[in-house]
Structure 1
Amino acid sequence: MSSLNLDDFTDLIERPDGGVRRDAEARRERLTVPPGALGRLDDLGEWLAAAQSAVPVRPVTRPRVVLFAGDHGIAAQDVSARPAGTAARLVRAVLDGESPVAVLARRLDVPVRVVDMALDCPPEELPAEVVRHRVRRGSGRIDVEDALTPEEAEAAFLAGVAVADEEADSGTDLVVLGDVSVGGTTAAAVLVAALCGTDASVVTGRGGRPIDDLAWMRKCAAVRDALRRARPVLGDQLRLLATVGGADLAATTGFLLQCAVRKTPVILDGVVSAACALVAQRVAFRAPDWWLAGQRSGEPAQTKALDRLAIEPLLDHGVSVGEGTGALLALPLVQAAAALAAELPEVPEVSEAPEAPETPATKNGGDDAGTAQDAPSGTPS
């Protein structure tokens, strides 16, 4: 019998400090730059202050990109522009510094961590630190079978919790969260449709590498069939992840929840991280207060999930490549907000000028001086 009780997260997760946020808002009113002149940067600075319990806010100096990786069996149904089982190639590009997220991370001097949860390749093809949390090789075809066994889902979820603890213990002060997968957007669409009560066509997008109309119809059918399997298990979030998720999605969900427990802010990337955030919200309703959405990817399921989470993306540049790229683009904006909130000077207090001391002349209204001038000199004419 499982010892994992997801209800514990409800008690463990606290909201960012509301009192500190009010202090940050009050300080913002005193800055030399007028309130509202910095737009959303003001809100970001105050959000960070509450997350850090610090006024003025501390700079974000140790961010980290964390990418959970896995292959999804549903990709064998030609629902992705990439061949099934090829997510390991994408991981290799990240590790070799040749992917968009790797290029940006190098430019921004942000370390990247890849966590293999279910890549369909021999583990020896990748570094040991990448594969040490792997739960299985690939996942089940969610339209006709479960993605994971209950034991695998729990193991993947706990792996995500462990990674969050490792990051918090190492001093990471903000996480840029993404995924590296083939078929992951299909599983994410199923989760969002199930949790939002919508039809397959409403949430099915064209993926990071856009698919043609025929592939989109196959993807819709796959989401529809998987959705039928998801609805009976909506009350059990871990079972939902086992049924129509995957090891990387289960790990991402555990990671998000434990980051909230450890008070580590997270920037979400695309539809996969948004879908996992939606699952995590069902587990602990306070958890979304610790997350930002880095960008709007264009995937309809992401839009639906973020609307339900009441999180407004920071950027809308049409970046759909995934792998944390869009979220990483938002990192400088968050760092800028922290710098402005901490370093802009406050308006100096204006003190009242002291009253001039009274003199004998002013004390008598100048009468003595006038009498002296008008008195006769005493010299006869």
Structure 2
Amino acid sequence: MAKELYDYIQNIISLDEQAMQAARDHQLQLTKPPESLGVLEEIAVQVAGITSELTTDVSKKAVVVMAGDHGVCAEGVSAFPAEVTAQMVTNFVRGGAAVNVLARSVGAEVVCVDVGVNADFEAPVMAGEPTHFVSRKVRKGTSNMAHGPAMTRAEAVAAIQAGIDTVEELVSKGYRMFATGDMGIGNTTASSALLCAYTGLAPEDAVGRGTGIGDAQWEHKCTVVRRALELNLAQTDDALDVLAKVGGLEIAGLVGVIIAAARHRAPVVIDGFISTAAALAAVRLAPAVKPYIIASHLSEERGHHALLAALNVKPALHMNMRLGEGTGAVLMFQLIDAAIRIMDEMATFAEAGVSNKED
């Protein structure tokens, strides 16, 4: 690991246990039976520990959509052509994608970051569009992991740094909560490979349908993942090496987003399969980030449950979604806002003149 990244990770601190206990104590005084708001109460306690504040203002929030292409698309693992990545980036920036619509509904900013798209974008044109676009391109797509490493170690570190730099800039502008989003045709293949490499799961249990492939293409995708693992990872348990060899530029970028959010004591909401693969990579690199992660939803993608289990986190939403982009994470913003408002606005038994439970 590069020394600068190692030093940055060392500055991530544990959650504030006193603030968490204060949140639990406050909840016991609210006009409701203990723990009757379930996950909302758990979220409020976690956010208090993250921010050291009983109630905190996270109204300025952003979903960071990292975009990158994958050389493994040459193996025919996706139902969509690779050029869709660049086309969807333009759609994000113009505000027309599902994540844009959902982000507007909860007052969140969409920040689209080109960390590895195999295309050039006209910066002046993109800058005039409604969504914030950032170019932090490390290279134009990964290499084909079925024939060799997807990235060099230095490129993986550079992509992580791109995510860190994005969050650093947003924090300087007052953003207090983040969500992870992704765009990259072929990235379910890379995420499946990461899941197998980090947990030992067989490809048949990790590989899903991605963009909607049929049975024959799914079997081929399993074969490609197995080949990539055998070729690249026969003798490694180095988390960064795994990320470089079978990961993706946008996945590494999301690792940086998660690490930087934790470094700045900001909640980071992970989306579906791709984001959770990035979260597992981030935790393997920097275990201290784990308590800062809030899981949003359970994706329909086959391996997502295994990724969540490996992280030991439980998603709040079960909505049969598998789009990616950060859509599930953005929906979770509203529940987090609700949990914080309960802490801030709900009357205590004493304030409302309501009798509390007898001991």
Q: How far off its partner does 1:82 sit?
A: 0.9
Which one of the candidate residues 281, 285, 297 is aligned to 2:299?
297
Which one of the candidate residues 50, 75, 81 is aligned to 2:79?
81
What is aligned with 1:111? 109
1:66-108 deviations in Å (ceiling 9; x for gaps)? 1000111111222111112320111111122221111112222
1:190-226 deviations in Å (ceiling 9; x for gaps)? 011100011111100111x321111111111111111
What is aligned with 2:98? 100
Q: How far off its partner does 1:26 sit?
A: 0.6
What is aligned with 1:211? 213
Equivalents in 2 of 1:15, 1:210: separation in Å? 40
What is aligned with 2:339? 337
Counterparts in 2 of 1:230 and 1:27: CA distance versus 1, 3 Å: farther
SS of the equivalent of 1:240 reads helix
Equivalents in 2 of 1:205, 1:160: separation in Å? 26
- The percent identity for this pair of structures is 33
Contact 1:193 1:301 in 2 (8 A): no
Contact 2:181 2:275 in 1 (8 A): yes
Counterparts in 2 of 1:3 and 1:79: CA distance versus 1, 3 Å: closer
2:276 is the counterpart of 1:274: yes
What is aligned with 1:370? none
Equivalents in 2 of 1:74, 1:35: separation in Å? 51
Counterparts in 2 of 1:338 and 1:68: CA distance versus 1, 3 Å: same
Counterparts in 2 of 1:286 and 1:98: CA distance versus 1, 3 Å: same
1:23-51 deviations in Å (ceiling 9; x for gaps)? 11011111112212212111111111111
2:192 is the counterpart of 1:189: yes
* Long gaps (5+) in structure 2: 354-359
Equivalents in 2 of 1:200, 1:43: separation in Å? 34
What is aligned with 2:153? 150
Contact 1:266 1:291 in 2 (8 A): yes
Q: How far off its partner does 1:131 sit?
A: 5.0
1:92-136 deviations in Å (ceiling 9; x for gaps)? 111222211111122222110000011111233773673520011
| 1:1-381 aligned within 5 A | 3-4=2-3, 6-8=5-7, 11-55=10-54, 57-124=55-122, 127=126, 130=133, 132-207=135-210, 209-232=211-234, 234-348=236-350
Q: TM-score, normalised by structure 1?
A: 0.86
* Long gaps (5+) in structure 1: 351-381
Q: How far off its partner does 1:7 sit?
A: 4.2
Counterparts in 2 of 1:24 and 1:4: CA distance versus 1, 3 Å: same
SS of the equivalent of 2:113 reads strand
Mark the structure with the bigger radius of gyration: 1
What is aligned with 1:376? none
SS of the equivalent of 2:67 reads strand
What is aligned with 1:355? none
SS of the equivalent of 1:61 reads coil
Counterparts in 2 of 1:74 and 1:3: CA distance versus 1, 3 Å: closer
Contact 1:66 1:175 in 2 (8 A): yes
Counterparts in 2 of 1:172 and 1:246: CA distance versus 1, 3 Å: same
Contact 2:209 2:302 in 1 (8 A): no
Counterparts in 2 of 1:138 and 1:3: CA distance versus 1, 3 Å: closer
What is aligned with 2:357? none
Report the aligned-residue RMSD: 1.9
SS of the equivalent of 1:177 reads strand
